[in-house]
Chain A
């Protein structure tokens, strides 16, 4: 399974290109999934069909999905609220169990829900040859891409402290045996500690996502236009990817017209300068406004990912 992320400023044609890419891959015989994690979905519009939170088949090899972040967040919270309210079931007596629902509004919900969808997709949809991701605007995308790293760091710290706690408890238990007594039962071994198991599980989850993002089977493409406005934001994306050691494989100079050649040259130079050698640069011609089914394009987008 290979993955491709189309990133870029809003309005540069990112969604159209990702749709084109997915369509072309499907036509070439690859089983492809186009997944939009942009809250402002465009996939349904581009394909002029209804697309929902569940995958739907569009053509022989092409499947479409618009991830509902809100729903993903809710499902996740419900799961945890269930456990929380089980443990703290006495709060029901005061109708306080509903207070756990405030978790839905914590900062980072969108990022986290996107990450969850990403993680689940990477884990579950292995029978696809290609998964093409249409991403949200730059800021959110970068935060989502950074989240595995941040989580890994935090979880690692927490694991270390937890290890210390378990070690000390083990020492205490070794000498006094108190943790097998009624009323004092506490885990003192990693394998018995639900918290440690959870921490390890979370850690593994994020490590897997990060590895997948960094790996050979993943490509990140940045889409921009031959103008100076999209240049700035595209530079931000590149910096962000650099900070995360994530590989940029393709750069699409979209809505290209011959009359803009000089500007296009300069933008490409400014943006890709030193990186130019490792990145596949493609100039995608402007598609006339009256064209329908914009995903059907003569320009071979998939070439960049050979």
Chain B
């Protein structure tokens, strides 16, 4: 079954890439290699540099791959593996990859300007401003969600915080080797990989135990300090080592899925509304995009694609591989995660002493992932078990579990660091318009320590006090809202500038928008009150953010429809 699914997945992706992707390319975007991309036309040797497509593919993929495509599908397994796969496959192909592709191509045709700029140009200036606020919320919530993930992981397996700590030291050493010495790159890479192995071994032998509060406090200080360091010290070398972790994870996972020859023990379909968020029945529609975000559709990708990637694409037709293709590969990663949980979830959960039956799955699955067996452990253990059931079983399972745990934690910790740096910037941009009215307020919020502490403090607090089931969908909501805006911007681009078949973009865009809005309303109506009752501070904060996002959403959609049928100023051929 596992093998079957992975082959079907590969076939589905490949086939629809050829059919649907190519259709988008030829009929909607009308990509033409004769049109010079900005990388050539605006070449400056600095940002606009045509890059080999294969290299750019790898670069873009590495930028978008992270811990999120793993966490989401694990949660979504509450609905059963068919709904989860359905979203990972079809949500990705028809919405997610389209979103990425349109973002890249719009940016390419806009001289490499960002999707934010395109939105300001085609919809409304304040739409561009909305991006800052939404991104800021996203950054805070991703810290909250990942802090919760990490907190759970650290408490359930003391080997993992040990691995994280030792990896930190290894990264600093790696940075020293790569940047301060004259060692050949291959040598320092080899040492880095050796250190990774050593870290895994040491983590098993010298685990670290501490209280939950300690870990959260440690995370807070880690964020503040790491985000203040020069990037060569920690962030960049860790980034580099993460890439190797990613390969190992992907390759082993892929091999595991293909060669395990196991049937699925998890149910194909449990119920439309199993217990997921805050102990409430969570309807598949509209909430699924909030649960599986990255891996199927991620608004953040629009920013990355229209940031550096679009300035480096060397030909228009390369855009398909990079915009559409990368997203599909990420979907492939999520597919492997679904397979792992579907095949080994029951085994792993019963092994951990949790009651789980096919009939009771919808009410038992999510609560089973708590306390000493958190969400991320579901991933690391099923993944390890999956590989253990193949010819790769010479690798000890404890080792594999730590590798999987390291994979998630290392990416998550890098995210915590990067988000803080980005948050400093967005906070300053958010308060910029208020500068003329209150200079001191602006100064306060753009102070680098204030701007660093605020998102870190809110994020870590929410992660500490809130449940994962509360935080993950709220992060998903911010992400999906940005995606909806980006996709609708892409639609506006197609209809206003390209004047081709906008329906290919408009239908998924509106479907997404309606879904995301409904999901946020559901969340506000169902999840927030429950959380508020348990913890007003947490419920209030997340509730406030959700309300703010909904308001901005309404403003946006009004602006979108107001300008939808307005012709662009320069297309009015009047007095010629």
A: residues with CB less than 8 A from B are 168, 171, 174-175, 183-184
Contact yes or no, A171 B232, CB < 8 A: yes
Q: Chain A contacts of B232 at CB under 8 A?
A: 168, 171
Contact yes or no, B182 A174, CB < 8 A: yes
A164: nearest chain-B partner, CB-CB: B230
Contact yes or no, A175 B45, CB < 8 A: no
With A168-B232, A174-B182 known, 5 other A-B pairs at CB within 8 A are A171-B178, A171-B232, A175-B178, A175-B185, A184-B45
Contacting residues of chain B (45-89) with chain A, CB-CB under 8 angstroms: 45
B49: nearest chain-A partner, CB-CB: A184
B: residues with CB less than 8 A from A are 45, 178-179, 182, 185, 232
Please list the 9 inter-chain residue pairs (A to B) with the smallest Cβ-Cβ separation, ordered nearest first: A171-B179, A175-B185, A184-B45, A183-B45, A175-B178, A174-B182, A171-B232, A174-B185, A171-B178
List 11 interface pairs A-B (beta carbons < 8 Å), by A numbering: A168-B232, A171-B178, A171-B179, A171-B232, A174-B179, A174-B182, A174-B185, A175-B178, A175-B185, A183-B45, A184-B45
Nearest Cβ in chain A — how far from B272, in angstroms?
Answer: 52
Q: Chain A contacts of B178 at CB under 8 A?
A: 171, 175
CA distance A183 to B179 in the complex (A): 24
Nearest Cβ in chain A — how far from B184, in angstroms?
Answer: 9
Q: Chain B contacts of A174 at CB under 8 A?
A: 179, 182, 185
CA distance A14 to B451 in the complex (A): 59
B185: nearest chain-A partner, CB-CB: A175
CA distance A174 to B186 in the complex (A): 12
CA distance A174 to B178 in the complex (A): 9
CA distance A175 to B179 in the complex (A): 8
Q: Chain B contacts of A168 at CB under 8 A?
A: 232
A171: nearest chain-B partner, CB-CB: B179
Nearest Cβ in chain A — how far from B73, in angstroms?
Answer: 35
A183: nearest chain-B partner, CB-CB: B45
A168: nearest chain-B partner, CB-CB: B232
Nearest Cβ in chain A — how far from B218, in angstroms?
Answer: 30
A174: nearest chain-B partner, CB-CB: B182
Nearest Cβ in chain B — how far from A179, in angstroms?
Answer: 11
Nearest Cβ in chain A — how far from B406, in angstroms?
Answer: 24
A177: nearest chain-B partner, CB-CB: B185
Main secondary structure of the interface of A (DSSP, over half): helix
CA distance A184 to B49 in the complex (A): 10
Q: Chain B contacts of A184 at CB under 8 A?
A: 45
CA distance A168 to B45 in the complex (A): 17
Nearest Cβ in chain A — how far from B477, in angstroms?
Answer: 39
Q: Chain B contacts of A171 at CB under 8 A?
A: 178-179, 232
Q: Chain B contacts of A183 at CB under 8 A?
A: 45
Nearest Cβ in chain B — how far from A294, in angstroms?
Answer: 61
CA distance A175 to B232 in the complex (A): 13
Nearest Cβ in chain B — how far from A108, in angstroms?
Answer: 32
CA distance A171 to B185 in the complex (A): 11
CA distance A174 to B177 in the complex (A): 12
Nearest Cβ in chain B — how far from A253, in angstroms?
Answer: 54
A186: nearest chain-B partner, CB-CB: B45
CA distance A168 to B185 in the complex (A): 16
CA distance A183 to B39 in the complex (A): 14
Nearest Cβ in chain A — how far from B560, in angstroms?
Answer: 42
B179, B182, B185, B232 interface centre (most CB from chain A within 10 Å): B179
CA distance A183 to B182 in the complex (A): 25
CA distance A174 to B182 in the complex (A): 8
Q: Chain B contacts of A175 at CB under 8 A?
A: 178, 185
Nearest Cβ in chain A — how far from B141, in angstroms?
Answer: 33
CA distance A302 to B45 in the complex (A): 64
Q: Chain A contacts of B45 at CB under 8 A?
A: 183-184
Nearest Cβ in chain A — how far from B190, in angstroms?
Answer: 14
Q: Chain A contacts of B182 at CB under 8 A?
A: 174
Nearest Cβ in chain B — how far from A297, in angstroms?
Answer: 63
CA distance A30 to B232 in the complex (A): 61
CA distance A175 to B45 in the complex (A): 18
B181: nearest chain-A partner, CB-CB: A174
Nearest Cβ in chain B — how far from A283, in angstroms?
Answer: 58
CA distance A184 to B46 in the complex (A): 9
A172: nearest chain-B partner, CB-CB: B179
CA distance A175 to B185 in the complex (A): 6
A167: nearest chain-B partner, CB-CB: B179
Nearest Cβ in chain A — how far from B146, in angstroms?
Answer: 29
Nearest Cβ in chain A — how far from B470, in angstroms?
Answer: 42
CA distance A295 to B487 in the complex (A): 88
B184: nearest chain-A partner, CB-CB: A174
B178: nearest chain-A partner, CB-CB: A175
A184: nearest chain-B partner, CB-CB: B45
Nearest Cβ in chain A — how far from B312, in angstroms?
Answer: 14
Q: Chain A contacts of B185 at CB under 8 A?
A: 174-175
CA distance A184 to B179 in the complex (A): 20
Nearest Cβ in chain A — how far from B69, in angstroms?
Answer: 28
CA distance A174 to B181 in the complex (A): 9
CA distance A175 to B178 in the complex (A): 8
Nearest Cβ in chain A — how far from B56, in angstroms?
Answer: 15
CA distance A168 to B179 in the complex (A): 8
Nearest Cβ in chain B — how far from A22, in angstroms?
Answer: 57
B46: nearest chain-A partner, CB-CB: A184
CA distance A184 to B178 in the complex (A): 22
A168, A175, A183 interface centre (most CB from chain B within 10 Å): A175
B240: nearest chain-A partner, CB-CB: A175
CA distance A171 to B176 in the complex (A): 11
Nearest Cβ in chain A — how far from B409, in angstroms?
Answer: 26
CA distance A183 to B46 in the complex (A): 11
A175: nearest chain-B partner, CB-CB: B185
Nearest Cβ in chain A — how far from B178, in angstroms?
Answer: 7
A181: nearest chain-B partner, CB-CB: B45
Nearest Cβ in chain B — how far from A134, in angstroms?
Answer: 50
CA distance A50 to B232 in the complex (A): 65
Nearest Cβ in chain B — how far from A275, in angstroms?
Answer: 45
CA distance A168 to B178 in the complex (A): 12
Nearest Cβ in chain B — how far from A163, in angstroms?
Answer: 14
CA distance A183 to B49 in the complex (A): 10
CA distance A290 to B521 in the complex (A): 103
Nearest Cβ in chain A — how far from B232, in angstroms?
Answer: 7
A168, A174, A183, A184 interface centre (most CB from chain B within 10 Å): A174
Nearest Cβ in chain A — how far from B186, in angstroms?
Answer: 11
Q: Chain A contacts of B179 at CB under 8 A?
A: 171, 174
CA distance A292 to B232 in the complex (A): 74
CA distance A175 to B188 in the complex (A): 10
Nearest Cβ in chain A — how far from B8, in angstroms?
Answer: 40
Nearest Cβ in chain A — how far from B16, in angstroms?
Answer: 36
Nearest Cβ in chain A — how far from B240, in angstroms?
Answer: 10
CA distance A175 to B192 in the complex (A): 15
Nearest Cβ in chain A — how far from B279, in angstroms?
Answer: 50
Nearest Cβ in chain A — how far from B175, in angstroms?
Answer: 10
CA distance A40 to B182 in the complex (A): 59
Nearest Cβ in chain A — how far from B243, in angstroms?
Answer: 14
CA distance A58 to B136 in the complex (A): 78
B232: nearest chain-A partner, CB-CB: A171
CA distance A184 to B50 in the complex (A): 12
CA distance A168 to B236 in the complex (A): 13
B183: nearest chain-A partner, CB-CB: A174
CA distance A171 to B178 in the complex (A): 8
Nearest Cβ in chain A — how far from B433, in angstroms?
Answer: 31
CA distance A183 to B44 in the complex (A): 9
B188: nearest chain-A partner, CB-CB: A175
CA distance A127 to B185 in the complex (A): 56
Nearest Cβ in chain B — how far from A170, in angstroms?
Answer: 9
CA distance A171 to B230 in the complex (A): 14
B182: nearest chain-A partner, CB-CB: A174
